[in-house]
Structure 1
Amino acid sequence: MADAERQQHGPGDGGRPHFLIVAYGIQSHLNPCRVLARRLLQLHDADGSGPVLATLSVPLFTHRRMFPSSGNGEPEGPEAADGAISCVAFSDGVDDGTTARGPEERARRRRASAESLFAVVARLASRGRPVTCIVCSMMLPWALDVARERDIPLAVFWIQPATVLATYYHYFHGYGELIASHAADPAYEVTLPGLSRPLRIRDFPSFLVDTTGGEVGKVVNAVFCELFEFMDEQRQNVKVLVNTFDELEPAALAAMREHLDVFAVGPVVGSSAEARIHLFNHAGADKTRYMEWLGAQPERSVVYVSFGSIWTYSKQQMEEIADGLRRCGRPYLLVVRKDGRQEDVSRCLEDVVQERKGMVVEWCDQPEVLSHPSVGCFVTHCGWNSTLEAMALGVAVVAAPSMFDQPTNAMLIEEEWAAGVRGERNGEGIFSGPELARCVELVMGDGARAVEVRKKVESRKGMARDAMAPGGPAERNLRSFVMEVQSSDEARRKDTNTISPPP
């Protein structure tokens, strides 16, 4: 790289470090990235001369949904304001929000995304804000291409627990064959270095133990394999920000720090006071109505049920959830998205609503709901964002995992933290009504286990509060990350600008 081009990537705008946070275009990646950007903007650089700069970059399709009033949001257009955050788009050449199919289309979209992100980096430099470090949310191979080609330091924002980071790391560092050879045995235990307990096959992230041979699993594993190869090759130039905190996963974090430059910066969760992005239609949601309803319920009496922003209910699953809520006999708040809802699911919901024992909504402000004193437990798919919100807000969990990191998260909740119970799906992958009711009673009843869960939940809530406090571990770790990036960048620029003496 030429000296002039390399110097483009040093600090600009008064010498302040500038982090380009590149987010995968789905809600579970987008919201943590936005919160991380806000936290970076609250910091000052190493010498205290000014605030850190942070720019959020998202796929063009996502950008259009975030800012529907800003026109078509072309990548070369002006930056959009997301509160204090500047947000820029990059294009995959298709920009319709669909997933690429087949290796040729994936390769085309990767090249287009990398070229567009190259242009974003150049445009920011031309505006006096050269990028000091690219931060990407896990599964973005084109961000690796840009970091490698432009010689820009990279940080991976690992938006899953450190335990899942450890499982992927060891899978691609000597344990893959062992795990794959026993993938058909859910009870088989694998002991990974540094973790506090063995993991059963059923506890691993779903794609690492997928026996179906499905294309999605192969693609995801290939992306993660490339990510860890990149981190091995660029060890001195790559850092990992993990959305967890030291008191929650001390063993996993300590184990990973032996192999990677890891910073625990969590819990990176938004507060109810922060507006969140929702990439689906919830125009008909009535926040006042459901919050008033919650206010009329007794303390710790409500069963809150939500399975995240991706998962949709089949008719059979909806019938089982309705049956389980009837069996519980407790007030409930059930979230079922309107978009993509099947007609037979809608008819089932009408029957549930008519019983008048709870409330069904198409959307809710989850942090605010979980903060409400009437909520007694959270029935969830166990995505990491929802898991962290439950931990941070002190709500017992009924976990019904199905894919991605969810099985590992459910294991941690039940066995590592005793902050809830894991529900079992039947042979058809359905979370049955009787099983839902059994799990709810275990965490909301008067038995010894419910009492223990409530104690553990309060303990984890205190840990999370301490971790997120001003000047607390999360802020200190994030500040250390910024200082290391800035120090490394200054050393690189000094080395680049050094003129060798004549012989």
Structure 2
Amino acid sequence: MGIPHFLCIPFPVQGHVNPLMQFSLLLVKHGCKVTFVHTEFSLKRTKTSGADNLEHSQVKLVTLPDGLEAEDDRSDVTKLLLSIKSNMPALLPKLIEDINALDADNKITCIIVTFNMGWPLEVGHKLGIKGALLCPASATSLASAACIPKLIHDGIIDSQGLPTKTQEIQLSPNMPLIDTENFPWRGFNKIFFDHLVQEMKTLELGEWWLCNTTYDLEPGAFSVSPKFLPIGPLMESDNSKSAFWEEDTTCLEWLDQQPPQSVIYVSFGSLAVMDPNQFKELALALDLLDKPFIWVVRPCNDNKENVNAYAHDFHGSKGKIVGWAPQKKILNHPALASFISHCGWNSTLEGICAGVPFLCWPCATDQYLDKSYICDVWKIGLGLDKDENGIISREEIRKKVDQLLVDEDIKARSLKLKDMTINNILEGGQSSKNLNFFMDWAK
């Protein structure tokens, strides 16, 4: 009997590639063999960002084409998704055959996918290969997607995923109330919602739905399905190994020069795009705060110039603006005071594990749900309110930052939550036990 050989296939966006790569490194540590499938475009991108230093490790990288042309915009997630679903499935059996031919004693024994990539589980199922999902969002997001048929049946949402009325509901008795406006598929079009419904059916083929979370963070979510298995927080490596953009590490030396707990870190993840007026308002807010800051203003995905122009009266003299940053290192730096975040799940988890208070600025999908956990359930952050024009004003940002920085209760809860979360992956911790359980299953 050979060792377990995992084929890991993420949806090719940064927020999916990262956690699956972290999980792959964890599998290797447990003595497994891992082959990781990038799209040709993604692999080229990680190579140009200098992130491709995995040759020395046990994770073997292979590629499949995503079916798009070189000049197509891959930040159009629906377009990317539909292209992958119509092009890749026919190519996967051959890839599996080729990988197996290289090492007949250690053939692929399990396929692990992230969300939007359920179809390889169907391919694996036909070939008699086991499968699992690694969910890159919160367990609560996954639980809400799993409840879609019931939500439609109960008349809470219609067949397009839209709430029939504004209300707060509970997905299961021990879960916090969820505002029906905050379901993770908010803002999706009909095509995407239909895909989501189909995707949940396909993901049933996975024997486990592994979640990058801990039982204590969102205990209620685990009562929705026995497939859920919390194995987080995934913290195997720094994320630079799978970054799509080159990280600017000069900000770390700059951070060393700043007083303890003084710096505001601002980042909206790898997909969010900000309205130009809001962008200017944020810039002027950072001037108004008069505190040291690091602001990640990401290059547009396809190397075009940044669409946003800074306000002409923006000085930014106290801060550092970078294109892409080593986020974990920044969040864990003693100079850091707070994190202005879009509340994507990876960022939320990294902030929790660094014990940093949040200022929440959700932009889309599951981020509104994450924000309600941060502000209302864990109480480790504050939300920002929009004015009558739908803009978060510089005064509002200053007011909330000032409020957050003097709130000792939030700071204390942040540190307590950090310890509780990290304890899960230590020897004997709940997530650590769950991972061993998963390993026994895989073997």
Normalised TM-score (structure 1): 0.79
Matched residue of 1:333: which SS?
strand
Q: Quick one: distance in 1 between partners of 2:131 and 2:211?
A: 14
Kept in 1: contact 2:7–2:111 (CA 8 A): yes
The residue aligned with 1:455 is: 412
Q: Distance in 1 between matches of 2:79 and 2:353?
A: 43
| Residues 164-173 or 354-363, more deviating | 354-363
Residues 1:172 and 2:149 aligned together: yes
Asked if structure 1 preserves the Cα contact closer than 8 Å seen for 2:66 and 2:80, the reply is: no
Corresponding residue number in structure 2 for 1:406: 367
Letter in 2 for 1:430: I
Q: 2:436 aligns with which of 479, 482, 502?
A: 479
Say if 1:195 and 1:328 are closer, same or farther in 2 by CA, change over 3 A: farther
**Which position in structure 1 is the counterpart of 2:228?**
262
| Alpha-carbon offset, residue 165 of structure 1 | 1.5
Q: Would you say the 8 A contact 1:242–1:266 is kept in 2?
A: yes
Deviation at 1:484, TM superposition (A): 1.6
The Cα shift of 1:314 comes to 3.4
| Match runs of 1:321-400 below 5 Å | 321-339=282-300, 345-348=308-311, 351-352=313-314, 354-400=315-361
Shift of 1:355: 4.5
CA change 1:294–1:159 in 2 (3 A) is same
Quote the residue 1:10 is aligned against: none
Post-superposition shift, 1:271?
4.5
Q: Does residue 66 in structure 1 map to residue 27 in structure 2?
A: no
Contact 1:92 1:116 in 2 (8 A): no
Percent pairwise identity: 25
Map 1:74-473 to 2 at 5 A. 81=55, 83-94=57-68, 96=70, 98=73, 109-128=84-103, 129-175=106-152, 178-180=155-157, 183=162, 188-205=167-184, 207=185, 209-210=186-187, 216-232=188-204, 234=205, 238-253=207-222, 255-256=223-224, 259-272=225-238, 275-280=240-245, 285=248, 287-288=249-250, 290-339=251-300, 345-348=308-311, 351-352=313-314, 354-426=315-387, 429-445=390-406, 450-473=407-430
CA shift digits 1:209-251 (9 cap, x unpaired)? 44xxxxx53233222212222344x4xx521101101121122
Structure 1 residues 148 and 299: CA distance shift in structure 2, 3 A: same
1:20 aligns to what SS in structure 2?
strand
- Please tell me whether the aligned partners of residues 384 and 409 of structure 1 are also in contact (alpha carbons under 8 angstroms): yes
- Tell me if structure 2 keeps the 8 A contact 1:114–1:145: no
Supply the distance in 2 between the matched residues of 1:428 and 1:169 (Cα, whole angstroms). Answer: 35
Structure 1, unmatched stretches of 5+, are 1-13, 44-50, 74-79, 211-215, 487-503
Bigger fraction of residues in helix: 1
Separation of aligned partners in 1, 2:77 and 2:209:
30
For residue 203 of structure 1, what is the amino acid of its counterpart?
N
Residue identity matched to 1:112: N
Q: State the partner residue of 1:495.
A: none
Distance 2:294 2:253 in 1: 12
CA RMSD between the two structures: 3.0
Q: Distance in 1 between matches of 2:77 and 2:135?
A: 26
1:35 alignment partner, one of 22, 37, 48: 22
CA distance in 1, matches of 2:291, 2:78: 49
1:104 Cα deviation from its structure 2 partner: 11
Name the amino acid aligned to 1:180: I
Question: Does structure 1 retain, via aligned residues, the 8 Å contact 2:89–2:123?
Answer: yes
Output one character per residue of 1:36-88: Cα deviation in whole Å (capped at 9) or x when no partner: 00001111xxxxxxx21121112121122223599xx9xxxxxx837331111
Bigger Rg over Cα: 1
Change (3 A) 1:375 1:69: closer
Distance 1:322 1:98, change over 3 A: closer
Question: Which residue identity lines up with residue 15 of structure 1 in the other structure?
Answer: G
Cα distance change on mapping 1:343 and 1:15 into 2, 3 Å: closer
Which one-letter code corresponds to 1:279 in the other structure? F
Shift of 1:463: 1.2
- 1:266 counterpart SS class: coil
- Rounded Cα–Cα distance in structure 1 between residues aligned with 2:318 and 2:359: 20
Q: Secondary structure at the match of 1:438?
A: helix
Counterpart Cα distance in 1 of 2:126 and 2:324: 42
Question: Are the aligned partners of 2:299 and 2:323 in contact in 1 as well (CA < 8 Å)?
Answer: yes
- Deviations for 1:404-438, whole angstroms, at most 9, x for unmatched residues? 11000000000110110122345655333222222
What's the CA shift string for 1:264-310, capped at 9, x where partnerless? 011124544x633221355xx3x23x223222222111111111111
Moved more, 384-393 or 359-368: 359-368
